[in-house]
């Protein structure tokens, strides 16, 4: 319901990861990565399914050894979301993952051996129309670049990416996306900004080793937010030392905050103060849990008193403003009904669910 300033996205080439398009005007895809042992098929499938439920568009799985590669066909059979195999150094693992039917590879062609080996992987990927993400990481830059630049820096990361890109382009392979990850935010941002001007491949954004759920969320929001606000970024992964579903939730919150993608409820709440006429923190915490199942884009405002309440409530689909002894519910910006604290969560959930059902029906009618 709120008017959003629409951010202009950088023009990038489109590639496919399974049935998900990345780049161009495709929705910015949200990714995460499993942290189970890939050889533990049941645990990995269960985690991928939880990520699917959380809304992940793409899931990455490490394939470090032949046993993990052997598990991939069964994992792919039991899951729906496109799967990217994460490969380091071994062209054999890349070939095994491609044979298993993965939808994407994450590997750095300069790190998997001789030209002959790279060619075998690239040929197999091209035959299966599988895209490749080049993933440059400041912590594992090539020795020559560290020597040339003295220490990891944005220029070194960009040069590394360009070297890997050239290897693939020389083999006429262009289904590429690129990431330039570092735990240092200014360095990451500078590297992406520079590369964004030099190539038109889609960019996968991430701040690596960003930290705990709280600290990592802040760091990722700043790093990814700066770039996304510049129009840079076609797919994102928030890295947290937390369950991967949390990464997906944070990813969507970042995109929602910038009006770039909508999934689920956009909850606006006042910070609360002595004027609050109900306990805003308690209500918002419970409401967030009760509305976690909503996938449609519904704006909800929970405001503790009339200072800012009516103004905010007018801008959203469903709102509540604290009053005494009753609170005012809003629907589509209009006053709707008075409720008591004991009933307000149930009534808000009802209204949001009704609103979500309308949005769903409209979407089905349009498709
Ligand atoms: S809206 Fe009212 S309760 Fe909420 S922070 Fe502002 S003054 Fe305090």
User: Using one digit for the tens of pLDDT, what is the confidence trace for 175-200?
Assistant: 999 999 888 999 999 999 999 999 99
Confidence (pTM)? 0.89
Nearest CA owner, ligand 1 atom 2? 305
307 lines ligand 1 (CB under 6 A): yes
Q: Is 355 helix (H, G, I), strand (E, B) or coil?
A: helix
Q: Give distance in angstroms: CA of 255 to centre of ligand 1.
A: 26
Angle between helices 115-127 and 91-100 (to 10 degrees): 10
Distance CA 154, CA 188 (A): 7
Name the strand (E) or helix (H) holding 152.
Answer: none
To test ligand 1's pocket by mutation, which of 279, 301, 302, 303 has the most ligand atoms within 8 angstroms of CB?
303
Q: Under a CB-based contact definition with an 8 Å cutoff, are residues 26 and 14 in contact? A: yes
To test ligand 1's pocket by mutation, which of 273, 309, 310, 322 has the most ligand atoms within 8 angstroms of CB?
273
303 lines ligand 1 (CB under 6 A): yes
- Using pLDDT thresholds of 50, 70 and 90, give the confidence band for residue 208: confident
Q: Give distance in angstroms: CA of 274 to centre of ligand 1.
A: 8
User: Using one digit for the tens of pLDDT, what is the confidence trace for 46-101?
Assistant: 999 999 999 999 999 999 999 999 999 999 999 999 999 999 889 999 999 999 99
Q: Under a CB-based contact definition with an 8 Å cutoff, are residues 179 and 201 in contact? A: no
pLDDT reported for residue 81: 98
Name the DSSP class of 85: E
Q: Average pLDDT of 129-136?
A: 95
Q: Give distance in angstroms: CA of 269 to centre of ligand 1.
A: 9
Q: Give distance in angstroms: CA of 284 to centre of ligand 1.
A: 14
Residue 212: is its pLDDT beyond 70? yes
Residue 366: is its pLDDT beyond 80? no
Q: How far is CA 40 from CA 22, 94, 269, in A?
A: 29, 19, 42
Instruction: Locate 153 and state its tokens.
Output: 């820096």
- Using pLDDT thresholds of 50, 70 and 90, give the confidence band for residue 210: confident
Q: Average pLDDT of 139-145?
A: 89
Nearest CA owner, ligand 1 atom 5? 272
Taken in order of first residue, the domains within the chain and their CATH numbers are 15-257 (3.20.20.20), 265-366 (3.30.413.10)
- Using pLDDT thresholds of 50, 70 and 90, give the confidence band for residue 154: very high
User: Using one digit for the tens of pLDDT, what is the confidence trace for 87-116?
Assistant: 988 999 999 999 999 999 999 887 888 888
The residues, ordered by sequence, that sit 6+ positions from 344 with a Cβ below 8 Å of its Cβ are 278, 283, 320, 327, 329
Average per-residue pLDDT for the chain? 93
Q: Is 302 helix (H, G, I), strand (E, B) or coil?
A: strand
Q: Average pLDDT of 211-221?
A: 90
To test ligand 1's pocket by mutation, which of 269, 284, 302, 304 has the most ligand atoms within 8 angstroms of CB?
304
272 lines ligand 1 (CB under 6 A): yes
Helix-strand-coil split of the chain, %, nearest 5: 45, 20, 35
Instruction: Locate 357 and state its tokens.
Output: 């059902």
Residue 130: is its pLDDT beyond 60? yes
Q: Under a CB-based contact definition with an 8 Å cutoff, are residues 151 and 125 in contact? A: no
Peptide bond into 163 cis (omega under 30): no
Distance CA 1, CA 266 (A): 11
User: Using one digit for the tens of pLDDT, what is the confidence trace for 25-39?
Assistant: 999 999 999 999 999
- Which residues are 106's β-sheet partners? 86, 133
305 lines ligand 1 (CB under 6 A): yes
- Using pLDDT thresholds of 50, 70 and 90, give the confidence band for residue 2: low
pLDDT reported for residue 318: 95
Residue 1: is its pLDDT beyond 70? no
Q: Give distance in angstroms: CA of 305 to centre of ligand 1.
A: 5
Q: Under a CB-based contact definition with an 8 Å cutoff, are residues 147 and 163 in contact? A: no
Where is pLDDT greater, at 112 or 269? 269
352 lines ligand 1 (CB under 6 A): no
User: Using one digit for the tens of pLDDT, what is the confidence trace for 288-345?
Assistant: 999 989 999 999 999 999 887 778 888 899 999 999 999 999 999 899 999 999 999 9
Q: Average pLDDT of 133-161?
A: 93
Q: Give distance in angstroms: CA of 1 to centre of ligand 1.
A: 22
321 lines ligand 1 (CB under 6 A): no
Percentage of the chain modeled with pLDDT above 90 = 81
Residue 3: is its pLDDT beyond 60? no
């Amino acid at each position: 319901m709120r008017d959003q300033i629409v951010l202009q996205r950088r023009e990038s080439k489109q590639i496919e990861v399974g049935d998900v398009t990345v780049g161009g005007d495709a929705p910015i895809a949200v990714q995460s990565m499993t942290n189970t042992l890939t050889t533990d098929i049941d645990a990995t499938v269960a985690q991928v399914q939880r990520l699917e439920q959380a809304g992940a568009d793409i899931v990455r799985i490490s394939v470090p050894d032949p046993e993990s590669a052997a598990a991939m066909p069964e994992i792919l059979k039991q899951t729906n979301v496109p799967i990217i195999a994460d490969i380091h150094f071994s062209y054999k693992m890349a070939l095994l993952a491609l044979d298993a039917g993965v939808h994407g590879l994450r590997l750095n062609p300069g790190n998997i051996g001789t030209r002959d080996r790279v060619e075998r992987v690239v040929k197999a990927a091209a035959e299966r129309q599988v895209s490749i993400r080049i993933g440059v990481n400041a912590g594992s830059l090539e020795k020559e670049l560290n020597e040339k630049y003295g220490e990891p820096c944005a220029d070194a990361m960009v040069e590394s990416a360009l070297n890997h890109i050239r290897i693939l382009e020389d083999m006429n392979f262009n289904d590429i996306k690129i990431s330039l990850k570092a735990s240092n935010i200014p360095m990451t941002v500078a590297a992406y900004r520079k590369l964004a001007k030099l190539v038109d491949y889609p960019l996968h954004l991430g701040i690596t080793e960003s930290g705990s759920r709280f600290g990592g969320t802040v760091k990722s929001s700043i790093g990814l937010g700066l770039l996304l606000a510049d129009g840079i970024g076609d797919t994102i992964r928030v890295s947290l030392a937390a369950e991967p579903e949390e990464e997906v939730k944070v990813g969507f919150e970042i995109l929602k905050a910038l009006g770039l993608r909508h999934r689920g409820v956009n909850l606006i709440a006042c910070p609360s103060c002595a004027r609050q006429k109900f306990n805003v923190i308690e209500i918002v915490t419970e409401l967030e849990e009760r509305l976690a199942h909503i996938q449609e884009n519904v704006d909800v405002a929970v405001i503790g008193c009339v200072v800012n309440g009516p103004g905010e409530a007018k801008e959203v689909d469903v709102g509540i403003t604290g009053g005494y002894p009753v609170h005012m519910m809003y629907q589509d910006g209009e006053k709707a009904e008075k409720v008591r604290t004991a009933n307000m969560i149930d009534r808000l959930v009802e209204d949001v669910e009704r609103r979500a059902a309308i949005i769903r029906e409209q979407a089905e009618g349009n498709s």
